[in-house]
């Protein structure tokens, strides 16, 4: 069957169309994406009228694309930016009234669990105990476990877009702002590290999301055109070398780095500080980049609930 998963994230609205059936790997067929950066459009905790209108227009485009692509079903969900908006109920109601789409808001821990499921399916049982790190625009998800359901899953308000908008106004940023953000990020992550450490050391550390992919790319990982199955890693050592470089760059300069998109260049420093803090506090020397993340997790969970043909 042909499924569409509509992800209203903190940075982008992304419709991924896949051909899938139970027991088989979902095959991407089409992708529709628009950058809204909702995490940066929050005004006193609410998504403003302009942001809501842009969201409605983008979802209308995604719905039309899903129809054009012959999707039998669309799985729509929203993450941190909508979840944390003070006017979330009104936004969801307007989206449904204008587009017919009933967005399901994922709780932070559920987001972490679905991302973990995707990573487990990608790497398989032989990878052992996984620690999965996922930096989005609005939040950081952390999950750990041996099975498909993690033993521990948390979501922290440490998304790259959220932190950039709140704490890094300069271009390039003021060094004191960078130091303040670094302290804040590490204090937030440190609150949960002990809960994970009690579960034992992971056998494999996995990083997902655009932020980690871009950090790995500027540190020398293979470009996306070389295919999904090329192993890509991000080392703690290379990340430590890049953080001060990114802090000294303007947005325009970051945009010239390999693999860094124009829409993400502004957020890259905040994302790097979160990645560095997580790797430091969890004692991670190397994280392997997983091509699958939350969208694939949503698809896999849906397929698991389909009757066998």
pLDDT digits (tens, 9 = 90+) for 75-85: 999 998 899 89
235 contacts 285 by C-beta, under 8 angstroms: yes
Nearest to 134 by CA among 290, 257, 264, 260: 290
Task: Supply the pLDDT for residue 306.
Answer: 75
pLDDT in tens, 142-159: 999 999 999 999 999 999
Q: Which residue in 4, 69, 5, 1 sits closest to 294, CA to CA?
A: 5
Identify the pLDDT of residue 24.
83
Distances in Å between the Cα of 2 and the Cα atoms of 70, 87, 184, 301 are: 7, 33, 43, 15
What's the rounded mean pLDDT across residues 183-187? Answer: 98
Length of the chain: 309
| 152, containing H or E segment | strand 152-156
CATH superfamily entry for domain 2-105: ATPase, nucleotide binding domain (3.30.420.40)
In CATH, the number for domain 108-294 is 3.30.420.150
Contact 111, 119 (CB under 8 A): no
Per-residue pLDDT, 309? 55
pLDDT band for 286, please (50, 70, 90 cuts): very high
Per-domain boundaries in the chain: 2-105, 108-294
pLDDT tens, position by position, 48-60: 888 899 999 999 9
C-alpha span between 270 and 284 (Å, rounded) = 19
- Predicted local distance difference test score (pLDDT) of residue 308: 62
Whether 39 has a pLDDT exceeding 80, the answer reads: no
Q: Is 80 exceeded by the pLDDT of residue 42?
A: no
Backbone angles phi, psi at 307, to 5 degrees: -65, 145
Q: Of 1-5, 7-11, 149-153, 241-245, which gets the smallest average pLDDT?
A: 7-11
Buried b or exposed e, range 293-303, using 16+ CB within 10 angstroms: bbbbbbbbbbb
Q: How many CB atoms lie within 10 A of CB 46?
A: 16
Give bridge partners of residue 205 from the DSSP assignment: 131
With a pLDDT cut of 70, the percent of the chain lying above it is: 98
pLDDT for residue 38: 78
pLDDT, tens digit, 9 for 90 and up, residues 294-304: 999 999 999 98
At 69, the pLDDT band (50, 70, 90 cuts) reads very high
Same fold, 2-105 and 108-294: yes
Could you report how far apart the first and last alpha carbons of the chain are, in Å? 11
Residue range 208-259, pLDDT digits in tens: 999 999 999 999 999 988 988 899 999 999 999 999 999 999 999 999 999 9
Mean pLDDT, rounded, of the chain: 94
């Amino acid at each position: 069957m042909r499924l569409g998963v509509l992800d209203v994230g903190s940075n982008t609205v992304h419709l991924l169309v896949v051909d899938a059936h139970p027991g088989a790997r979902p095959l991407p067929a089409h992708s529709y994406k628009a950058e809204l950066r909702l995490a940066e459009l929050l005004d006193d905790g609410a998504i403003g009228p302009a942001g809501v209108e842009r969201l409605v227009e983008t979802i209308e485009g995604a719905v039309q694309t899903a129809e054009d692509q012959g999707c039998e079903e669309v799985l729509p969900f929203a993450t941190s930016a909508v979840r944390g908006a003070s006017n979330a109920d009104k936004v969801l109601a307007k989206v449904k009234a204008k587009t017919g789409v009933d967005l399901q808001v994922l709780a932070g821990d559920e987001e972490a669990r679905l991302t973990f499921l995707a990573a487990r399916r990608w790497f398989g049982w032989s990878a052992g105990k996984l620690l999965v790190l996922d930096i989005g625009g609005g939040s950081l998800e952390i999950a750990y476990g041996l099975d498909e359901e993690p033993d521990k899953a948390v979501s922290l308000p440490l998304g790259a877009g959220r932190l950039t908008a709140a704490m890094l106004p300069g271009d390039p940023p003021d060094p004191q702002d960078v130091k303040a953000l670094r302290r804040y990020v590490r204090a937030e992550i440190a609150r949960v590290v002990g809960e994970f450490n009690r579960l034992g050391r992971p056998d494999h550390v996995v990083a997902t999301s655009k932020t980690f992919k871009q950090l790995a790319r500027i540190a020398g990982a293979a470009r996306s055109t070389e295919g999904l199955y090329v192993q890509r890693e991000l080392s703690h050592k290379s990340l430590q070398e890049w953080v001060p470089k990114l802090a000294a760059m303007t947005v325009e300069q970051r945009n010239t780095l390999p693999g860094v998109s124009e829409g993400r260049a502004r957020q890259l420093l905040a994302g790097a500080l979160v990645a560095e803090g997580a790797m430091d506090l969890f004692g991670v020397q190397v994280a392997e980049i997983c091509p699958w993340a939350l969208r694939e997790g949503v698809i896999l969970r849906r397929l698991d609930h389909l009757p066998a043909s």
